[in-house]
Amino acid sequence: MSRQLHFNLFLHDTGHHEASWRLPGSDPHANLSLAAHQHLARVAEDAKFDSVFLADSPVLWSDPGRRPAGKLEPTLLLAALAVSTSRIGLIATASTSYNEPFNLARRFASLDHLSGGRAGWNIVTTAGDAAARNFGLQDQPLHRTRYERADEFLQVSTKLWDSWADDAIVADRTSGVHARSELVRAINHSGEFFRVDGALNVPRSPQAYPLLVQAGSSADGRGFAAKWAEAVFTAQPTLAESQEFYADIKRRAAEAGRDPDHVVVLPGIVPVIGATAAEARELDAELDRLIAPQYAVATLAHTLRVDPERLRLDEPLPDDLPSEDEIEGAKSRRTLIVDWARRDHLTVRQLIGKLGGGRGHRTFAGTPVQVADTIQHYFENGAADGFNIMPAVLPSGIEKFAGEVVPILQERGLFRTEYRGTTLREHYGLPRPAHRFVREGALA
């Protein structure tokens, strides 16, 4: 088969534009509604998307005055969606800074069993002192320390998923043996951050490991992705930046001894779709008019680590902003925003308008054909293996994308018309991990 696109739907309450909840007809309580999430997942599954994805953080994300701020715990929600769907992958975010490997490995193995092999884990290290204070710490750990902990967290998690052999369970009623005990092994891990005996109390799951996803674009994040990630979500506002990131991740993966084709790069795109280009631009402009500047400026100031009073709406960003090296959280997002503002000579008002739509992801307003053309151009010019689809408005944005953009890409032979497998790894064209002890020759 020729190379084909991969699509992930990023589920985000009423849509990724921060003012989407203010549109007539939106459901401002969709963030807490199982029915709303079920509908979105089914629309994506009917369109043959690879997966749906839920972001998360162990902290209240934003000022609750700004937009729906409550978040249901993602693995619980995806467990409910597992029985509402049958094929689409289910990816949840979980932090390596504020969890322990045993609990998280068990949670994702359980989701993989419940869904028949459709679980994925978006691995984050969590920036910000506010999250740290929710777990008894005064300050967040250093950026590099968070990634060092994440690396060991993955070492422990993969060992735990491998602590049961695939054929450990025999369920032999005659002999009275349910599992071969010699094929269930303690991992006896002792490292800088974790001491874990194991074995895991969940047998090896259908995919062996959940699909491993990563979204950091700093130097540390890229290195971590090259070692561990099988899919990478990234925010890149231009084609050139997407091409640079794509080439760098593939190069790093090869240098790490991995097959670059087994690291699927998915930039985010925020499509605003209209029957005509003018209609799409009108909806985009209406959304931007509904942004509440007082909240947007506060959020931007937090990301840049400056006093909000220093950000004047009709002036450019101050010249003396803290550098990426001077901050400990969201380094790559800070640099993306500052570079974008400087390059395009944006005022703060213009910048918050652009960020309100996609927080630094590629935003595009146009017809279904124009959206399809943009996606195809990125895909065929070394910028993407597919896209993290982030509709500005939900549910209408994904309904239009699924009903009007996907058929165009299917007609062009760029996207599947039917699922060819049952697991998330099969959707992404990725192998099932071999058992660690088999690889090392410890088990026959």
Report all structural domains of the chain as residue ranges with CATH numbers, in order of start: 6-268+367-439 (3.20.20.30)
Checking if the pLDDT of 333 tops 70, the result is no
Chain centroid to Cα 275, Å, comes to 29
Distance, in Å, from the CA atom of 365 to the CA atom of 376, rounded to the nearest integer, reads 16
- Please state the rounded mean pLDDT for residues 99-122: 98
pLDDT the model gives residue 309: 82
- Please give the mean pLDDT across all residues of the chain: 91
Of 73-87, 102-116, 132-146, 385-399, minimum mean pLDDT range: 132-146
**Residue 443: pLDDT band by 50, 70, 90 thresholds?**
very low
Q: Are strands 386-389 and 6-11 parallel, antiparallel or unpaired?
A: parallel
Of 25-29, 139-143, 304-308, 350-354, minimum mean pLDDT range: 350-354
Rounded to 10 deg, the angle between the 348-358 and 293-304 helix axes is 90
- Please state the rounded mean pLDDT for residues 400-404: 98
Checking if the pLDDT of 330 tops 70, the result is no
pLDDT the model gives residue 356: 64
- Please state the rounded mean pLDDT for residues 398-416: 98
pLDDT one-digit tens code per residue, 136-165: 998 888 989 999 999 999 999 999 999 999
- Please state the rounded mean pLDDT for residues 324-348: 74
Report the b/e string of 142-172 with b at 16+ CB within 10 A: ebeebbbbbbbbbbbbbbbbbbbbeebbeee
- Please state the rounded mean pLDDT for residues 307-326: 80
pLDDT one-digit tens code per residue, 159-182: 999 999 999 999 999 999 999 999
pLDDT the model gives residue 34: 97
Percent of the chain beyond pLDDT 70?
Answer: 95
Please name the amino acid found at residue 389.
Answer: I
- Please state the rounded mean pLDDT for residues 13-23: 88
- Please state the rounded mean pLDDT for residues 90-108: 98
- Please state the rounded mean pLDDT for residues 275-283: 95
DSSP three-state, residue 201: coil
Residue 329: what are its φ and ψ, rounded to 5°?
-135, 145
Checking if the pLDDT of 9 tops 90, the result is yes
Contact 52, 111 (CB under 8 A): no
Distance, in Å, from the CA atom of 399 to the CA atom of 404, rounded to the nearest integer, reads 8
pLDDT one-digit tens code per residue, 220-241: 999 999 999 999 999 898 899 9
Q: What is the DSSP string of 36-51?
A: HHHHHHHHHHHTT-SE
* Proportion of the chain in helix, strand, coil states, percent, rounded to 5: 45, 15, 40
Distance, in Å, from the CA atom of 126 to the CA atom of 132, rounded to the nearest integer, reads 9
pLDDT one-digit tens code per residue, 286-303: 888 887 777 777 777 877
Facing residues of 316 across strands?
A: 347
Of 93-102, 307-316, 372-381, minimum mean pLDDT range: 307-316
pLDDT the model gives residue 359: 65
pLDDT the model gives residue 308: 82
Distance, in Å, from the CA atom of 6 to the CA atom of 414, rounded to the nearest integer, reads 9
pLDDT the model gives residue 444: 34
